[in-house]
Chain A
Amino acid sequence: MLGIKDADSAENNSGSKNIVISPVACVVSSRAAGGPKLSGTIPEIRIRPGSYLHSFYKKDLVAEEFFCNYEVNPDFEWAIAEAGFPIVARGAQGEVRAIESPRHRFFIATLFQPQLSSKAGKPHPIVVEFLRAAAKWKVQRLEDSVLE
């Protein structure tokens, strides 16, 4: 995706010099005992205005559930944005929390876990829009195959 041949995650201990995914820099102090370094509800996630993500939330600031130990190494932010994936959500310290692709019909990756805050009657907007995109794609594929 980035055109970096030995791009890797620190978790894989490959010895690569291009560690795009590195351990979480800012450990959450309120996390549950034994939980990952970045876990629990993080109240201050800033959503980039004009992004698809923003059109789903219709909010500038959201709270999200996290459960992870790794994040995007800030040294590689430029490479991700340059590859066509703008950063559309950031943490309080500017950390990358979500990217999307304006060139794709639906392509979003988050560091947080939308499934953890989803409830019956109160689904998560990202999951709703993902499913809507999948339903639309199903119809479109069917129509395309009829035309062939």
Chain B
Amino acid sequence: MAVMAEVVHIGIIGDYNPASPTLPALEKSIEHAAAALKISAEAKWLPTDSLVGPDLENKLEAFDGLWAAPGSPYKSFDGMLRGIEFARRRDWPFVGT
């Protein structure tokens, strides 16, 4: 399937911190899974405070799957909830860890 060769885009909803014991592993785990599936995947961090504006839907639609990252308290609890709500209402592939 030629289409599968394209890059799968994953949006990670969360506030990246390289010192976190859980966050850098998240991107790595996507790489591990992509290699096993023989597909290309690209992950992009979406800071919680960037998800409170009216352009939220457009922003999240750009991704093929959304991952709600750990790391509370978040910069914006509301942004995190809105991101999850988008996945739930629009039926977007979602995982929350």
CA distance A103 to B11 in the complex (A): 22
Could you tell me how many residues of chain B have their Cβ less than 8 Å away from some Cβ of chain A?
A: 43
What number of A residues sit within 8 Å (CB to CB) of B?
Answer: 41
A29 within 8 A of B: no
Within 8 A of A (CB), among B53-84: 63-65, 67-68, 70, 72-73, 77, 84
Candidates B8, B21, B25, B31; contact of A135 at CB < 8 Å:
B8
Candidate in B4, B9, B94 with the most chain A CB atoms within 10 angstroms: B94
Kindly state the separation between the CA atoms of A9 and B74 in the bound complex, as whole angstroms. Answer: 12
Residue A134, interface by CB 8 Å: yes
Chain B positions within 8 Å of A, measured between CB atoms, are 1, 3-4, 6, 8-10, 21-22, 25-26, 28-37, 39, 41, 63-65, 67-68, 70, 72-73, 77, 84-85, 87-88, 91-97
Query: 9 nearest interchain CB pairs?
Result: A134-B65, A118-B29, A109-B96, A115-B29, A123-B32, A138-B64, A106-B93, A134-B64, A133-B93
Residues of chain A at the chain B interface (Cβ within 8 Å): 1, 9, 11-12, 67-68, 70, 101, 104-110, 112-116, 118-124, 126-128, 130-135, 137-139, 141-142
